Amino acid sequence: MQGRSLLIAATAATALVLAGCGGPGAGGGGGARDANADPSDLRIGISLPSQDEERWISDSAAIEQGLADLGYQIDLQFANNDIPTQQQQVDQMITQGADLLILAPLDGTALSPQLQAAEGADIPIISYDRLIRNSDDVDLYVTFDNFKVGAQQATSLLRGLGVLGPDGADTGKRGPFNVELFGGSLDDNNATFVFNGAMSVLQPYLDNGTLVVKSAQTQLAQIATENWSQQKAQERMDNLLTAHYSDGSRVDAVLTPNDSVARGAITALQNAGYGPTLESGPRPMPITTGQDAEIASVKMVSDGVQYSTVFKDTRVLADQAVHGADDLLKGKEPELNDTESYDNGAMIVPSFLVPVHAIYRDNIDTVLVDSGYYTAQEVQVGRLE
């Protein structure tokens, strides 16, 4: 993590400088691209959802550094969670001569006109982390194994309740336990994979009564969290507590799809008198899951407030996108490890899935600190330095 703060701070400024280089047609605009062209003559447009989430800042820094190391021109833009802004930014990338696009769409179907324009200009497209849907104009999808993310979240929840042991074996403990479910944003295809992964593990325990959802809200459309918003998650958790737990019953666990949603749910639970930790208070904090291993949530796991999160090493994902872009621009086949799972409605998108890791209080040091992703000091204070 040495120097990460400087790299992140420089990202926006560097993007503005590089976005101004070359002007229209700087790299030949795709159609005129030469597979033997020098990277310094080629321009790569990158569109990411926002700067509101820590993970997109980390992704942007890693992608930008990797492409810069190879010598490419870079046009990096953040859409500020606004679909028209992302459409306009991608349009601009195309007209200014992008030779390849790396896109993390806010809405998997909203970039159709831009994708068609890119296809017409022979501009390769990499769908980054979030799947571009209903288009056959996608050359590569690089993402984490999001079905496994959900499965790991559900396994962590069952482990925290004691239904599963540390080795994953069923302990025979049957509760019943009151559980509430949260999902991701419906416009993000990853939310479906995460939800389906979680339910593949939880459904047998819902069926046999080990887990009870008092709200009866178990469908993704019922539990989705717009824009993965912490505030909306807090509001929904508040409503669930008022509507279904005012009789004195307690929430034993909350399946939350990422760390921002987890923090929203935890805030509502704390305000309702839960906690302060998993092991203290008249009503201990419920078992709560997460995703992204954001530093604020890693501290909460370390402090025993949040039970677990799922670490997705954005350094590895960014590196895969960088190498995929380099291969495509050089006329090579990019590395793949999945050609079956991701049907976007128009095609099976050739994909590379990056592995994920469950994070608990006892493996923060070995997985996150020893790998250099965070420092021990960052974990202790809960912020990047």
Give the closest residue to 183 by CA, choosing from 291, 307, 267, 106.
291
Q: What pLDDT does residue 33 have? A: 58
Per residue in 280-295, pLDDT tens? Answer: 888 999 999 999 999 9
Domains and CATH numbers, the chain: 4-145+313-355 (3.40.50.2300), 146-311+377-381 (3.40.50.2300)
Q: For 40-51, how does the pLDDT look when each residue is reduced to its tens digit (9 = 90+)?
A: 999 999 999 998
| pTM score over 0.85 | no
What's the pLDDT score for residue 29? 52
User: 5 and 384 in contact (C-beta within 8 Å)?
Assistant: yes
Q: What percent of the chain has pLDDT over 70?
A: 91
What would the mean pLDDT of 364-368 be, rounded to a whole number? Answer: 97
**Proportion of the chain above pLDDT 90, given as a percent:** 85
Asked if residue 186 has pLDDT above 80, the reply is yes
Residue 188 scores a pLDDT above 90 = no
Specify the pLDDT at position 24: 34
pLDDT for 191-212, tens place per residue?
A: 999 999 999 999 999 999 999 9
Question: Which amino acid is residue 328, in one-letter code?
Answer: L
Structure tokens at 163: 């239904």
Q: With cut-offs at 50, 70 and 90, classify the pLDDT of residue 13.
A: very low
**What HEC string does the chain produce?**
CCCHHHHHHHHHHHHHHHHCCCCCCCCCCCCCCCCCCCHHHCEEEEEECCCCCHHHHHHHHHHHHHHHHHCCEEEEEECCCCHHHHHHHHHHHHHCCCCEEEECCCCCCCCHHHHHHHHHCCCCEEEECCCCCCCCCCCEEEEECHHHHHHHHHHHHHHHHCCECCCCCECCCCCCEEEEECCCCCCCHHHHHHHHHHHHHHHHHHHCCCEECCCCCCCHHHHCCHHHCHHHHHHHHHHHHHHHCCCCCCCCEEECCCHHHHHHHHHHHHHCCCCCCCCCCCCCCCEECCCCCCHHHHHHHHCCCCCCEEECCHHHHHHHHHHHHHHHHCCCCCCCCECCCCECCCCECCEEEECCEEECHHHHHHHHHCCCCCCHHHHHHCCCC
CA atoms within 13 A on the CB side of 321: 34
How sure is the predictor about 187, in pLDDT bands with cuts at 50, 70 and 90?
Answer: confident
* pLDDT given at position 34: 72
Amino acid 180 reads E
Tokens representing 127?
Answer: 């769908």
Distances (CA, A) of 69 to 41, 64, 87: 14, 8, 28
∠ CA 114-115-117, nearest 5°, is 65
What pLDDT is recorded for position 52? 82
Give tens-digit pLDDT for 128-160: 999 999 999 999 999 999 999 999 999 999 999
The two three-digit tokens of residue 292, written as one number: 């992204």
Q: What is the mean pLDDT of the chain?
A: 91
Task: Give yes or no for residue 70 having a pLDDT over 90.
Answer: yes
Residue 177 tokens, joined: 């336990």
pLDDT of 251 > 90? The answer is yes
Amino acid 114: pLDDT = 94
Burial of 50 (0-12, 13-18, 19+ CB in 10 A): middle
**What is the average per-residue pLDDT within 353-360?**
96
Tokens of 307: 């039970």
Q: How many Å apart are CA 284 and CA 280, to the nearest integer? A: 5
Contact between 140 and 127 under an 8 Å Cβ cutoff? The reply is yes
In 3D, which of 267, 270, 175 has the Cα closest to residue 230?
Answer: 267
CA distance 89 to 66: 22
pLDDT in tens, 82-134: 999 999 999 999 999 999 999 999 998 999 999 999 999 999 999 999 999 99
**Per-residue confidence (pLDDT) for residue 105, from 0 to 100:** 94
| Distance separating the N- and C-terminal Cα atoms of the chain | 9
